[in-house]
Amino acid sequence: MTKYYALLASLLLANTSGWAQSYQRTSQGLKASLETFDVEIRFYSPQIVRVLKTPKGGPPRLASLSVIKEPQATALTLASTDSTVTLTSQALRVRLGLRRGNVAIDQAAGAPLLHETRAAIRFRPNQGPDAGTYAVRQAFRLAPDEVIYGLGQQQNGKLNQRGQRVRLAQHNTSVAIPFFQSAKGYGIFWDNYSPTTFADTLQETSFASEVGRAADYYVLYGGTTDGVVAQLRELTGQAPLMPLWVYGFSQSRERYKTQVELVDVVKRYRALGVPLDGIVQDWQYWGKDDNWNAMSFDPATFPRPQQMVDSVHLLKAHLFIVAWPGFAPKTPQYQEFASKNMLLNFDTWPPGANTKPYDVYNPAARAIYWRYLNKGIFSLGPDAWWLDSTEPDHINEKPTDFDQPTHLGTYRSVQNAFPLQHVRGVYEHQRATSEAKRVMLLTRSAFAGQQRYGSNTWSGDVGSSFETLKKQVPAALNFSLTGLPYWNADIGGFFAGSFKKDGGAKNPAFQELYVRWMQFATFTPMMRSHGTDIPREIYQFGQRGDWAFDVQEQFINLRYRLLPYLYGTAWQVTSHGGSIMRPLAAAFGRDRASLDQSGEFLFGQSFLVAPVTEAGTKTKSVYLPAGATWYDFWTGQRLTGGQTVARACPIELLPVYVRAGAIVPWGPKVQYAGEKKWDHLEIRVYPGANGEFTLYEDEGDSYRYEKGARSEITFRWDDAKRQLTIQNRQGSFPGMLARRTFRLALAGPQNGAGVAPAKVVKAVSYASKQLVVKL
């Protein structure tokens, strides 16, 4: 019969003769010894506390793969009774029960946050390859009406994850991250990399992992969803800034079969005058499947790869190249990895090719992977990587596949960290090779901490349907709420075969779906068209004058006009732990109706977006949160928050609202992100509340911004005085504008509506010194 370690022991205070055991004060918290396990409570900051429970005689806990923060000196007060010891920081109060070892975490002032249940912890010894480790379960008690977010990216169509039972294991379209945060202002990261079941019932909320050396979790207090995300970045790493061009529009297809075909796509966009910044080369540029992922170009279809890269650059575009974690036996990579016992022995994509993934957990294997990628591809000068199958694909899955050893233990024990370690290898080695280009990694999966490696995760090979589109909104928000700011999806969905027989891109039903999806993508961190079955280039849908072409062009142009706003928002992500896609609760947590709005989101600080996710929609109900005044982006109509409005939404319109107090820089019309300098920006002010926005600029690429090569210009609007202050410019970089003109406009029903040029109230010349302007 399997033995269980339960919380049945008592703990003795060091100065109390009635107990059999003791606790010990440490520099960052305390350690306590119970009969069957030890407990450590360690503060990493006043807002972050770690709880670690280790079975007696168990193996030591390995260093975290996700957490990089070192504990900082934190002022703590300690109080104790016969049954409880309490540690209090400036933000948190942590109580340890000395009989069962239960932990309760509250705000320092006493408001309850997260409490373990009475039968909180369970360790069950594993057998076989994982012998010496445990199946670990930890349970908590949440308030009955508490709203929680997170768990990575789940395609369940829900924003609030209460009442869910989810097996957290990486799969195509499902990103598994054992983290949730509460609308009460705290988050919990369960630091475990094995498949883990999250379960929430009326009685308890729990994490149960298949393999662990300890129960190890962090509680982070941020006060708001934004605050929790900022604390999680503090714990697991900040997100570097993407190149400016990445925030533009990228085109892809499964797949471009020759280098001529790929370059021709860029040429056609330039000839049409439709903006484009990225072009993606998907799989099989290496030839047949028996040469899968050789990281070299097939001479028959890509005879002059350097010429291809150079041609894309001459057209002022940027090139993604795909790379996979698995290799076919014919490749030199496979042979070297096999000779060094660095392959995982299970089948990955494509079927029938006997392709095996390399051991991403081994730093020596990651170095070998980069050596081939650098020599075969990066030396040609591409701009970004598409790291496909980063979960990875697992074909013909067998239970014994998970028993095999990796550099860090059985595959089962570290399965969910596969994407984290794989992208880490590419990021770290590219940065060590050259910092001339910022690392951009388009990945299909992620884990906690992956944001620090230049990762932008897409939602996987999802189907082409309005039902799937609807699920992308809460999936993206929950992903963002796990601390990962960069997310995107294949515009139109990947699998579009159901529309192919009826005309493909000329099928009106697919055109409607694709256009509505593109409208949504305009307000996501990356705007990228991709899919199989039906080519998605804009000219496949018709020509100017055809509605499916015209609406796409309108929203691609809108994306580029918003680049100064989006780049400034991205800088807040990097510098202040911010997010691009945010739930309404991020800014309106006191408005109960905002907490579970799964069909709307905030884009940065200023925009509220309500994607159209049902076919044939003519009118959409949109909730405008209480606590703010809102402007209809398209008409300038001013509306009071705290109400649901019925917004007409013909095919050319997506419901978008702007918060009063917003300051939105409006960029020039361009064909690519770096075509024009921002020397004549229109600055739209939405009166009705005070507001602030920081215009951020740098060289657009390279990591010199980390060393100070950047500038910030902060705009502040005083609504009572009708006064805009443009503050002194902070910082500088080579090629920066020394003087510029800002065209100032007040938005409203008669001005600044939609994409039409606003009527300028004042044009001011700015030479980096503070200006105060009455409007």
Catalytic residues: 388, 391, 461
Using an 8 Å Cβ cutoff, are 178 and 242 in contact?
no
Kindly tell me the burial class for residue 145, based on how many C-beta atoms sit within 10 Å of its own C-beta (0-12, 13-18, 19 or more).
Answer: exposed
Could you say which DSSP state residue 748 is in? Answer: B
Instruction: Give dist(CA 274, CA 316) in Å, integer.
Output: 13
CA nearest neighbour of 409 among 362, 356, 358, 343: 362
DSSP, collapsed to helix, strand or coil, labels residue 11 as: coil
- CB atoms < 10 A from the CB of 32, how many? 22
Cβ contacts of 673-679, under 8 Å, gap ≥ 24:
673/244, 673/245, 673/247, 673/248, 673/277, 673/560, 673/563, 673/700, 674/244, 674/245, 674/316, 674/700, 675/316, 677/737, 678/564, 678/737, 678/740, 679/737, 679/740, 679/741
Instruction: Give dist(CA 179, CA 232) in Å, integer.
Output: 10
| Residue 353 tokens, joined | 């090719």
| Residue 390 tokens, joined | 């980063």
What single-letter amino acid sits at 316?
A: K
- Give residue 554's region: left, alpha or beta (phi > 0; psi -120 to 50): alpha
Which residues are paired to 645 by β-bridges? 622
What single-letter amino acid sits at 466?
A: F
Total residues found in the chain within this entry: 775
Helix and strand element counts for the chain (H, E): 12, 45
Q: How far is CA 299 from CA 70, 294, 382, in A?
A: 50, 13, 18
Buried b (16+ CB within 10 A) or exposed e, 684-719: bbbbbeebebbbbbbbbbbbebeeebbbbbbbbbee
CA nearest neighbour of 250 among 445, 530, 601, 52: 530
